[in-house]
Structure 1
Amino acid sequence: MKSRNAVAWRAVASLLAGLAGRMAHAHAGLPETSNIAIRRGHPQDFFVGTTFGAVISRDSGQTWRWVCPDAMGYGGWRPEAYLWRETGDILAATGSALLHSPDEGCSWRTHPFFKSTWVTGLAAHPTDDRVFYAVTGRPGIANGVYRSEDGGETWAATPLLREGLELNAVRVSPVDPRRLYASGVANSQLVLLRSDDAGLTWQEFPHALPELLRPYALTVVAVDPAAVDVVWTRVSAQGYTHLLRSEDGGRTLTQVSVLDDTFINMDLSADGATAWVGTLNYFFRGPSTGPLEKRPLPTGNACVLRDGETLYGCGSTWLHDWALARSTDQGSTWQHIFGLYEIQGTQLCPRGTPVRDLCPARWPQLAEQLGAPLYPDGGVEEPPPPPDAGAPDAGTPDAGTADAGTPDAGGPPEEPPPAPKASGCGATAGTSVPLLLLLLSSLLPWRRGARRPHQ
């Protein structure tokens, strides 16, 4: 298995060399996983963001189905993370719109409250499933922190709302949910902001970082699960990612590690003593005070999520077979959960929902690219109806989709942000991706219809 992966990847690398200058790095724009969400209170339910939409499992990872990006309607900006409520609602900030699915991923809409701005970050209360915080960062207008107390249905601005402020992330302390951290730029200065009262008042800490040459994108990435004043940020400078830690609630920052790669995300052990960091090509582990050690796996497309004592990680199917794995020994060894070639068709949704109406026609082409079964169950299934449910009313528009005839009915923001730069998994010159995928399809025939036992 490994040898065939290696041969395939060497062939792709050779093709990349021939296309130098026309393509970005990062796995040649191949389909990849990118983030992991577990439904609150339902550890058997996974929602995994990908470079080609998302995949969902409702049976602890035994079967996986696809949610196509067309049905989600997020355009060129993919969410960096999804939040899955116990009620079944899924929310995500894209850097442009705020996405909301009220029915476990079958229908999607962009929230009309934020239609004139860009939602750049989203965070959930650690215990109250109704409370969310969002930050905005559209240049030229007032930006700030917003709070929802009804699961993301309605939003209200906190007192932190002004022009000259562009925010990129928000985090809530697991120790004390009244403690909030936000980050971004205020009047051209890198800033970390802190609230001790759930957003009613804020302290602002500028960070010039004189030891770095032209630092940018200071972003809060984690809050210690055991110490309310310990917060983690990252900043970019000269092509490197600098991981910084504060032990005084954001007033001062101390460098923990310098990563020669693009940061994806990080997580911490329950006691805050161990840190795991995923980057575009590597996976790191070490004491929370540093240094961090590069681990042998995953060897590409790494992301991380800790759930209790279990660690989940994204990986590259094209490099080591699995796209998602779990570890019960803090990342020393990994157990395969699924590879992209194991996706079993589209998400099972009722007729009349965007996923059911749009995704099945798109699946055969993606299945060919991934070496996945077309429809192993014989076709596009319908989910079982709820007890005593009548037939759906074909004349009633879906509550989770925008009415195309109504202006501003949850559509994308006016004047959306420019398309992301060619970086991260999946960034390539547009005409090169099909060629690479066709090459992989021919090089990896062993994947077609292949199934492997779950460990």
Structure 2
Amino acid sequence: MRTLRLLPAALAASVLFAPQSASANGRFPLADQLVVDPSDPSHLVLRTTYGIVQSTNGGSSWSWTCESAVGYGGTQDPAIGVLADGTILAGIFEGLAVSHDRGCSWAFAAAPLESEYTIDVSVHRDDPSQAVAITSTGKGDNGFHVILAETKDNGATWSQAGNAILSDLIALTVDVTPSMPERVYASGLVGKALAPALERTDNRGMSWTRTYLDAAYAKGVPFIAGIDPTNPDRVYLRLSGTTADNTMPLDRLLVSDDGAATFKEVYAGEGDLLGFALSPDGKRVVIGGPKDGIRIADAVDLVFEKVSSVYTRCLTWTAAGLYACGNEFQDGFTVGLSNDEGKTFKPIYHLKDICPLECPAGAKSPEACEQSWPGIAATLGIEPPACGIVGPTTSSASSGGASASSGGGGDEGGCGCRLGSSPREEAVIASIACGLGLGLARRARRRRASR
């Protein structure tokens, strides 16, 4: 995202329609979001650059589902959520993909999310059978279609919650307040100036109040990092930006204690701050990034201490401990679990620890992923016998991207943009580029996303 604000519309359009392979995304194998099932802590769902990876036994073994089975491809990184009955949500450019059988089959949610760019999802802490999703669909010269949708039945049905947000907002993230579910926060960029702003509703979307960040942060991109589990007014915000000369990433952590009316800076990163987590009681705060490692603080004073040098891509804190996404070749794990607040980690997932998801006969995902698996296996160094497969792998097959016939991505699925340095920045690029007068792409996507 960092360089996009410098791009003229013509260049954004050329990036959008640049040819890309629809069968491989060619990215370095990394994991960057881990979600723990709210009803089954042994069920872990991991977003990676090569698809969705799951464990149903706390990390002892892992299964893989390709991007095309979910319905996306290219360089998209879906926003993942897991509901009370194990239903998985994946917010992508084509809509909201939903799986009620732990990934064996996927379908897009109907209206009001049909063919809408579902940029983020948030599952209720108090009742995880409920969740919200926010859209950020470009409408060309008419701005963006930004609505809050909600489910109260584990993703079986969805309805619009309240009223749409003003169309000058490019929505980026959404979060339900754990201790006050009627209050929802959303972040985004406003207008041609791409001014960072927060939206807040106290009545489930019936009315929205907008707050702009101070002028000192006018060039940043705001992502809601978390909300205190007991204090609805405390909001943590990651502000993605660059150094003064626009050459290097530089993220900041901001905090508000007045319901997003004002923010103060509590930490300036050395680079991207891609990881953030609160302890289950909200009393400890942990942040991290590839350059910053892992740093932890008391929520009272927010004085951060470095406890690890893990190449941090994600952080998730549950009663089981602190999970971190790392770099396999630097940290010796792709996902690790710490029981000492990030000082040390036990590896629970290595790149080679996956096999294709096993499903009942007739399930759609295994068939969709069959051609992708040899390329994934070759890339990650997995020998076929490890998964009970007889025969050699070949790197000539797809490495996990979607094919045009699958409803996944390629250049259309992710808008063909690869300028950001983290998953959420990629989403910003897609949203902005596809909304700046590029209605043709949206119309084409609606046709292709029809099911």
Determine if the TM-score, normalized by the shorter chain, exceeds 0.5: yes
Match of residue 48, structure 1, among 42, 46, 49: 46
| Counterpart for residue 170 of structure 1 | 174
* 1:352 and 2:362 are equivalent in the alignment: yes
TM-score, normalization: structure 2? 0.74
* 1:320 and 2:345 are equivalent in the alignment: no
CA contact 1:36–1:81 (8 Å) conserved in 2: no
- Aligned partner letter, 1:151: N
CA distance in 2, matches of 1:165, 1:250: 17
Q: Secondary structure at the match of 1:290?
A: coil
Kindly, what percent of the aligned residue pairs are identical?
Answer: 27
Q: Secondary structure at the match of 1:365?
A: helix
* 1:292 and 2:301 are equivalent in the alignment: no
CA contact 2:161–2:206 (8 Å) conserved in 1: no
Q: Please state how far the C-alpha of 1:172 moved relative to its aligned partner.
A: 1.2
- Aligned partner letter, 1:192: L
Q: Secondary structure at the match of 1:318?
A: helix
| Counterpart for residue 116 of structure 2 | 117
* 1:191 and 2:189 are equivalent in the alignment: no
| Counterpart for residue 230 of structure 1 | 234
Moved more, 108-117 or 37-46: 108-117
CA distance in 2, matches of 1:65, 1:221: 28
CA distance in 2, matches of 1:303, 1:49: 10
- Aligned partner letter, 1:103: D
Q: Secondary structure at the match of 2:58?
A: coil
Q: Please state how far the C-alpha of 1:53 moved relative to its aligned partner.
A: 0.3
CA distance in 1, matches of 2:64, 2:95: 21
Q: Secondary structure at the match of 1:66?
A: strand
Aligned residues: 368
| Counterpart for residue 211 of structure 1 | 216
Q: Which runs of 5+ in 2 are unaligned?
A: 1-25, 243-248, 391-404, 424-451
* 1:252 and 2:273 are equivalent in the alignment: no
| Counterpart for residue 422 of structure 1 | 419
| Counterpart for residue 396 of structure 2 | none
- Tell me which structure has the larger Cα radius of gyration: 1
* 1:89 and 2:87 are equivalent in the alignment: yes
CA contact 2:94–2:115 (8 Å) conserved in 1: no
CA distance in 2, matches of 1:142, 1:29: 30
CA contact 2:39–2:85 (8 Å) conserved in 1: no
Q: Which runs of 5+ in 1 are unaligned?
A: 1-27, 381-403, 427-455
Highest RCO, 1 vs 2 (Cα 8 Å, sep ≥ 6): 2
CA distance in 1, matches of 2:231, 2:338: 25
Q: Secondary structure at the match of 2:271?
A: coil
- Aligned partner letter, 1:155: S
CA distance in 1, matches of 2:422, 2:263: 29
* 1:268 and 2:265 are equivalent in the alignment: no
Moved more, 305-314 or 282-291: 282-291
CA contact 1:219–1:233 (8 Å) conserved in 2: yes
| Counterpart for residue 149 of structure 2 | 146
CA contact 1:74–1:97 (8 Å) conserved in 2: no
Match of residue 107, structure 1, among 97, 105, 115: 105
Moved over 4 A (4+): 414-417
TM-score, normalization: structure 1? 0.74
CA contact 2:45–2:55 (8 Å) conserved in 1: yes
- Aligned partner letter, 1:311: L
RMSD in angstroms over aligned alpha carbons?
2.8
